[in-house]
Each structure stands twice: as structure tokens, then as C-alpha cells.
Amino acid sequence: MNYRTTEDIGLITGAKNLTAEKIRSAVHKVFSKEAGPRLKAYYNTCVRCGLCSQACHYFLSMDNDPSFSPVGKVKQTVWELLDPGKRITPDFIVNAAQIAYTECNLCRRCSMYCPFGIDTAYMITLVRRLCHLLGVTPQYIQDTAHSHASTMNQMWIKEDEWIDSLQWQEDEARDELPMLRIPIEKNGAEIFYSVIGPEPKFRSQLIYQAAVIMNVAQVDWTMPATPGWDNSDMAMYVGDYELMGRMKKIHFETALRLKCKKIVMGECGHAFRSVYDTGSRWLGWKEPPVPIIHAVQFYWDLLNEGKIRVGKKFEQPVTFHDPCNIVRGMGLHEKARDLVRAFCRDFVEMHPNREHNYCCCAGGGVINCGPPHKKTRVLGNKIKADQLRATGVPVVIAPCHNCHGGLEDILHHYKVDMQIKFLGDIIYECIDKTSVE
Amino acid sequence: MHQLYEFVSGPLAWIAWTVFIVGSLTRVVVLVTSTIEKDPVVVNYFSLKHALRSMVIWSIPFFPRSSRLNPVMTVVSFTFHICVILVPLFALGHIVLWEEFFGISFWALPDRITDIMTLMVIFGLIFFIIRRFSLKEVKYVSSWSDYMLPLLILAPFVTGYAAFHGWFNPQLMLILHIFSGEVLLMAIPFTRLVHMVFAPFTRAYTASEFGAVRHAKDW
């Protein structure tokens, strides 16, 4: 057990409703019925060599504290839950929830350092699933899951507010490009563009920028007016897979209703994991029913098909942060670098990079667990600040929303003077817009 | 003493081999069939190409970044695993047994090489035990069984070495050697030594997900 419990009202009040019987039946449901052979193979194969430790930014940043190593976190949670002789108390569940939701980003870096390729992230998601079934979840992330359940988006955005945000951004952008459109509900458009809830809520300039890029590239695109526009997924990270399935279904069905050929999604990592991998699998699809590509891939295609051109180079030296869900999750690291090199004059690699890059410590739903856990994730990623500082450049490009949130806090706390940009920020600023002027 | 020898080199040997083979096969069959039934993703996303690629890469020392970061562990671990498999299979004394019991004969390691390789195994095990005590991230996750397993492997190698060199009471050493070897063999399917059997499966699955689905390297 670790004894660094932070006060989270969701965990504390959730634990009050637990009984021995509830715990026993939920543990049985998750660890004996839902999970099985893969978990047992991992449990039996792990030789406790500790080689995964060096992969984890928490472990490295917390002065090599073994309770923060991947296997250390599994020992405190999964191994105990698999022990038939162990009496699982409500306090144990609170501690397990804290470890699973706030001390692991599910970034899967540790799988690459395990000689057996054991998927620790998978085991941690089982703990989250258990905590969800028991109703012991951090308050803030649970709130986003409630929002998903009632509005089908992450940020309690009502339908009219969504449409209004799109029209507002269209209006704004028409000052710059008078013929610009954000086509809503266009049947048979080639591309269905989906974003995450936070974009209309507080990063609406990204919708503006995407619209400019789409219009410059003269892409046949649309955005829906109905729920199903949000591709984000905190239900996946809470462990509420039933809700995850509902959300992914409405997202894909909206694209199908509009008869679009392809879904393009904004620069978000976890949403990509959900739509490409976890969510569509839960619905029983081996491949997503509509081809889905991440913004990095989309921009790369546009550049290589000659639909967008470099107007000017971004002058400041930049470095690139590889987000786990689109690099270890989709291998987009080289395409992202092609874009960075095309649009920026001076590109400096951070080390380690590509699949081996250190996590932002915000993803996996960790930043969504809110203020009670901020200290853990900031102190748990000192190594990222060191890695960024060592590049000596003033700009880091990160094509993922969660990475932005995490890196911002880390740069601020460790006083690293750096700006964070999306690839879309750079492309919007530097592309040749003469085609629509 | 003679009766004891007869027992360990006769009936017990057959029992040990049966437990080892049947036990290991059962574990593999249970793993595969229950995976097909309960974890179909593993089967649906399986990619032989990526599985084999990953296994080859992880068999090359200093190729995966993980092994480059731990050069001492890499050298000791590779040496240990090679020796711990080759010595029991190819030691001259064992070659005779292969022929006697199973009617198969193959090439034997020279005694001198077997000697050195046995010492490598012993050294490797001592290294693993010390590492388990001294590295806090390893100590934190170790239970008593993790300390016992290296001793279980150590026993047949130490007694075999002693018997070969005629130390102490060579006949007793030989009996202990055979007995501890048989215990080790029987322990493989039922302890964490099962990683010997399961490793290809866990590696293959992760390699398939990383390579075929997510288009990324897993090393």
C-alpha cells in the first residue's frame, strides 16, 4: 500500500457505499469473467525483473520510488486483487483507484521495455473497470463521463451552442477569407470532420484554423449539427465501456448518416485511441466502419497531394513531442516530422523520441481527474521538463490536446520558457492561402 | 544408496519428464483455447509476421533500447539463458542418457565448455539474487518465491558440477543432481518458470498489436 492518498470527494464518498459483498462480486466480474487468459498469462509470465521501471516517467521523476514503477503499481493493485486469500477493503479500493486513475497514463511505454511485452496499461484499465463498477471514481473525470452520457459530448455543450460555435468561427474566419464556409450537415461530403468537446468549449480557434486549412485545400467536408460530433472519450478511461460503446456508435453513425467517405479528426490523441482502437473494438468491429484518420495523417496527405503548399517557413527553432496515442498508437511519428520539416526552418529532436518519447503525464484521463491530483502528475513528470529544457528551443509542437494541457503545467512549474503549439497552428500560420484569396 | 540412484534415475525421471511435458502442454492448450473463447481480440489481431519480427529482434542483444539501457543485465541474462538451456541438453553425461532412454544421439559439448557454461549459470543466478536484494524497484515487487526460484535452478547445476569434479561424495552428489534436476523440471509448468513456455505468446501478441494495428515498433 502507498500512503499518499489525496482527497478526492469522488473516491471518498464512493467508498462509503461499498460492502464486502459488492466488492467481491465486482472483483469476480472483472477479474474472472471479463478478463481471463491474457491477464493470467501476464501474471504468470512476469518474472518481477523490474526492467519496466525505467520506462515510466512517474518512477523516473519520483526519485526512482518503486511504488511508482509499472510493476510496482500492478503489485499494489492487480496482484492483490488476484489473490483469493486477500480481503479487499474499501480503503484498498480507494488506493487502487488513485493509482489506476492518477498515477498511470496508460501510455504503454513500459510494454516496450518488458522483455515479454507485458501490457501493463491493460492491467491498469482492468483496475479502472473495477473501480467504475464499484462507483469509486475521481469526481472530475466522472463528471465528464456524466456529460458524455447525457449530451454525447464531454463538455455539457448543448446542440444549439455547438452549432452556434461553428457559425461563430465561420463568421470570424470570413474576415480573413471572405468565401470561407464551415459546411454543416452536408450530405455526401467526402470528409466528416470531428473534434473533441473542449474545442468548441475553449479552444474554438482550432475550429477556425481547421476551417481555413480545409478551405485552402478545397476539401469537400462537413461537420454535423447533431450529437455525434464529439470524438472524445472519457468513458473509456473511467472504465465505463457500455457508455464508450454508445458514444462511438453515435459518432460513426453520424458519419454514415451523412454518407461521408472518411472521418478526419482533430489533433487529439486519446480520441484517436478510442475511435480507431478501443471503442470500435468494443462495438465488435475489427476495423472502424468508416475509415478514420488523425489530423497529422490528413495534413500529411494534403501536403503530399499538393493540396496545401508551404507559403513561408516558421522561423523560430522548434522541437516535436510524440504523443503516445498517435505514435505508439498509430506510428505517425515520421509523417509528423515530415510536416514539421516542411513548415519549420529549424527542427531540433528531443531525446528520447518517437516511440520512446516520455509521456506528457496528462493523457489516459489523468489530467481529467482534476485539481486534487495535479500535484502528482506535475511532480511525476520532472523528467519531461528536463527533456524539453535540454532542447534549448522556444517552441514545442505537440499534436494532441491532452499533451498540451500536461506540458503547459509542467513547463510552468519547472520554469521552462517554451511555447506549445499544435501542428495546425503552424500550418495555419505558414500555408500559402492564395488559392482562396 | 544404489536403490536411491535406481529410483531417481528410473521411475522418478519418467515421472518428472511426464509432469514437465504434460504440464507445459496443458498450460499452453488451456491458454490458447481459453483465449480463443474469452479474449478473441488476441486471435483476431494476431500477425505472424510482426510476431516473428519482434522475437528475432528481442533475441539480439543490445538491439532493443531496453537492453541497451541495462548492458550488464543484458550480458548476464543472455549468457545465463543460453547456458541454462544448452548445458542440460548437450552435456556429455546427458547425451548418454538421451541415447539410453530415448534412443536419440547427438553431438555433445566438450567437458571443458560445459564446465565453463555451468559456472556461467551459477554466476548468473547469484547475480540475479543480488540484483533482487539490491535494486529497490526489484526488491519491492519480490516475494519469497522469487528468491527461492533461483535456488531451485542453482541446485542441479551446483551438484552436477560437484559430482563431475568428484567433490564431497560424488555418488551422493550425482543422486542429488538428478533429483534436483527432476524437481526443477516438474516446477517449470507450475511456477513463474512458466515464462519459458509463455514468453513467445505474450511477445507475439504485443508485437501484433504494436506492429499490425498500431504501426509502431515494440522494442
Per-residue pLDDT of B132-176, as tens digits, reads 999 999 999 999 999 999 999 999 999 999 999 999 898 999 999
Q: Which residues of A195-206 are buried (b: 16+ CB within 10 A; e: fewer)?
A: bbbbbbbebbbb
Give residues 73 to 92 of B whose Cβ lies within 8 Å of A: 73
Q: Rounded to 5 degrees, what are φ and ψ at A222?
A: -155, 160
Length of chain B equals: 219
From CA B33, how far away is CA B51, in angstroms rounded? 19
For B99, the enclosing helix (H) or strand (E) is none
Burial class from Cβ neighbours inside 10 Å (0-12, 13-18, 19+) for residue B49 reads exposed
> CA nearest A114 in B: which residue?
B66
pLDDT of residue A6: 81
CB A336 within 8 A of CB A364: no
Q: Do A37 and B194 touch (CB under 8 A)?
A: no
Q: How many angstroms separate the Cα of A429 from the Cα of each of A104, A208, A283, B49, B191?
A: 35, 12, 39, 42, 60
CB B115 within 8 A of CB B161: yes
For residue A152, the SS3 value is coil
From CA B217, how far away is CA B197, in angstroms rounded? 24
Q: Rounded to 5 degrees, what are φ and ψ at A265?
A: -115, 155
From the list B41, B66, B139, the residue facing A51 with the nearest CB is B66
Side chain identity, residue A107: C
From CA B50, how far away is CA B32, in angstroms rounded? 19
Q: Do A46 and B54 touch (CB under 8 A)?
A: no
- How does strand A262-265 pair with strand A221-222? unpaired
- Asked if the C-beta of B105 comes within 8 angstroms of chain A's C-beta atoms, the answer is no
pLDDT of residue A283: 94
- The shortest C-alpha distance from B90 to chain A (Å) reads 26
- The shortest C-alpha distance from A177 to chain B (Å) reads 38
pLDDT of residue B89: 93
| Adjacent-strand bridge partners of A347 | A318
C-alpha cell at A383: 523528467
- Asked if the C-beta of B141 comes within 8 angstroms of chain A's C-beta atoms, the answer is yes
pLDDT of residue B101: 81
For residue A395, the SS3 value is strand
CA nearest neighbour of A381 among A41, A102, A16, A90: A102
Q: Do B218 and A54 touch (CB under 8 A)?
A: no
Side chain identity, residue A163: I
pLDDT in tens, chain A (437 residues): 445 778 899 999 999 999 999 999 999 999 999 998 999 999 999 999 999 999 999 999 999 999 999 999 999 999 999 999 999 999 999 999 999 999 999 999 999 999 999 999 999 999 999 999 999 999 999 999 999 999 999 999 999 999 999 999 999 999 999 999 999 999 999 999 999 999 999 999 999 999 999 999 999 999 999 999 999 999 999 999 999 999 999 999 999 999 999 999 999 999 999 999 999 899 999 999 999 999 999 999 999 999 999 999 999 999 999 999 999 999 999 999 999 999 999 999 999 999 999 999 999 999 999 999 999 999 999 999 999 999 999 999 999 999 999 999 999 999 999 999 999 999 999 999 998 87
Give this prediction's pTM: 0.96
Q: Using 50, 70 and 90 to split pLDDT, how confident is the model at B213?
A: very high
Q: Do B136 and A44 touch (CB under 8 A)?
A: no
Q: Using 50, 70 and 90 to split pLDDT, how confident is the model at B107?
A: confident
How many A/B residue pairs have CB atoms within 8 Å?
132
From CA A172, how far away is CA A250, in angstroms rounded? 29
Whether the predicted pLDDT of B98 surpasses 90: no
Residues of A in contact with B143 (CB under 8 A): 48
From CA B205, how far away is CA B55, in angstroms rounded? 11
From CA A118, how far away is CA B207, in angstroms rounded? 10
> CA nearest A118 in B: which residue?
B202
- The shortest C-alpha distance from B149 to chain A (Å) reads 10
pLDDT of residue A1: 42
CA nearest neighbour of A347 among A421, A414, A403: A421
From CA A93, how far away is CA B7, in angstroms rounded? 52
pLDDT of residue B147: 95
Computed over every residue of chain B, the mean pLDDT equals: 95
Q: Rounded to 5 degrees, what are φ and ψ at A421?
A: -130, 150
From the list A44, A71, A111, the residue facing B206 with the nearest CB is A111
| ipTM above threshold 0.85 | yes
- Output the furthest CA–CA distance in chain A (Å, rounded): 72
From the list B65, B66, B142, the residue facing A48 with the nearest CB is B142
From CA A225, how far away is CA A400, in angstroms rounded? 24
Query: Given the C-alpha cell 497514463, which residue does it identify?
Result: A105
Residue B194, Cα to own-chain centre: how many angstroms? 8
